Amino acid sequence: MASKFHLSPFSCHPFRGQYLAGREKVLLDLRTGIVQGESDYIRIIEHPEPSQDGRCTGRAVIRVDYMGPYTNARIKLDYKEPPKGWTLDIADCATADGFGGSGGITTNCAETQIVERQMRVYSNTLPGHARESINGGKLLRIIDDIVTEGVKLRLEVADESLKWNNRGPQRGQLQSQYLYTLSGQRPTRGEIEHSIYIGINRVPLENTSRVGSGLCKAIISLASDGGKFKTPLFFSKYY
């Protein structure tokens, strides 16, 4: 479905749209509000604002489109402060509001959220989704202590796939037809979606009260060459 947010260009704000080495990569600083990089397939829906107290309290919503040559997105997250509240939410619908909720707009809305130190992954509601659930509903996975102060977490999101690595014991992957439907899978309700919406220190839903702090920097990059990055997720060094 189409986003309700206004897609504003980087150039509308001082320091936004600065040069970042390599195309198809965007960096967001949640302390300073600075956005760097460019891509035709990564759009900033809500820009982060500079912090008034020097903490990582900036919030952003990003849309990543999978209709072009890129089929895999890598998301690097730098937690320089203790995570509090909702620091990450990735969904393939713009109305995602946490715990697998999407306002009933579409059946094709999977969601990955990080609240405090815990990550949860929720399925969409396509027929049969409950068979893969761990609670009889939409919950697919719970991972405790995936982020703390000082952790640098990486995730990769592709069609029906999620991978994660926190440079510690929490690394793995999940593949399911009930995850992100990014290659034209038809919903039983709603419109076909080819994008993910990333909430940084908040959920994607507009005018939400589900916000957080502690995530200080995020880098989103896209992979061509069959959806593979040059450096594998589980062996790569961190920025």
Q: Which pLDDT score is estimated for 133? A: 92
Q: Is 87 a domain residue?
A: yes
Cβ within 8 Å of residue 140, ≥6 positions away? 121, 122, 123, 132, 133, 134, 174, 176, 178, 179
Residue closest to 113 by CA, chosen among 203, 208, 46: 203
In a domain, 3, yes or no: no
The three-point CA angle 14-94-131 to 5° equals: 140
Per residue in 33-90, pLDDT (tens digit) is: 999 998 999 999 999 999 999 999 999 999 999 988 999 999 999 999 999 999 999 9
Given a cut of 90, whether residue 9 has pLDDT beyond it is: no
Residue 235 lies in a domain: no
Confidence grade of residue 23 (pLDDT, cut at 50, 70, 90)? low
Q: Is pLDDT of 12 > 50?
A: no
Query: For 137-160, what is each residue's pLDDT tens digit?
Result: 999 999 999 999 999 999 999 999
Residue 119 counted as domain residue:
yes
| Structural domain includes residue 17 | no
Q: Indicate if the pLDDT at residue 171 is higher than 50.
A: yes
Domain that holds residue 191: 24-227
205, part of any domain: yes
The rounded mean pLDDT for the chain is 87
Residue 175 lies in a domain: yes
Q: What is the CATH number of the domain that holds 185?
A: 2.60.120
Domain count, the chain: 1
Asked if residue 128 has pLDDT above 70, the reply is yes
pLDDT, one tens digit per residue, over 87-112 is 999 999 999 999 988 888 899 999 99
Q: Closest by alpha carbon to 117, among 91, 79, 154, 155?
A: 79
Is the predicted pLDDT of residue 170 greater than 70, yes or no?
yes
Position 96 scores a pLDDT of 94
What is the Cα–Cα distance from 230 to 226, expressed in whole angstroms? 11
pLDDT digits (tens, 9 = 90+) for 201-228: 999 999 999 999 999 999 999 987 566 6
Task: Report the pLDDT value the prediction gives residue 119, as an integer from 0 to 100.
Answer: 98
- Dist. CA 48–CA 139, nearest whole Å: 30
The two three-digit tokens of residue 215, written as one number? 């995530």
Is 238 part of a structural domain of the chain?
no
The pLDDT-based confidence of 7 (bands split at 50, 70, 90) is: very low
pLDDT score at 232:
65
**pLDDT number for residue 68:** 86
For residue 123, pLDDT over 80 is answered with yes
Decide: residue 13, CB within 10 A, 0-12 exposed, 13-18 middle, 19+ buried: middle
pLDDT recorded at residue 180: 97
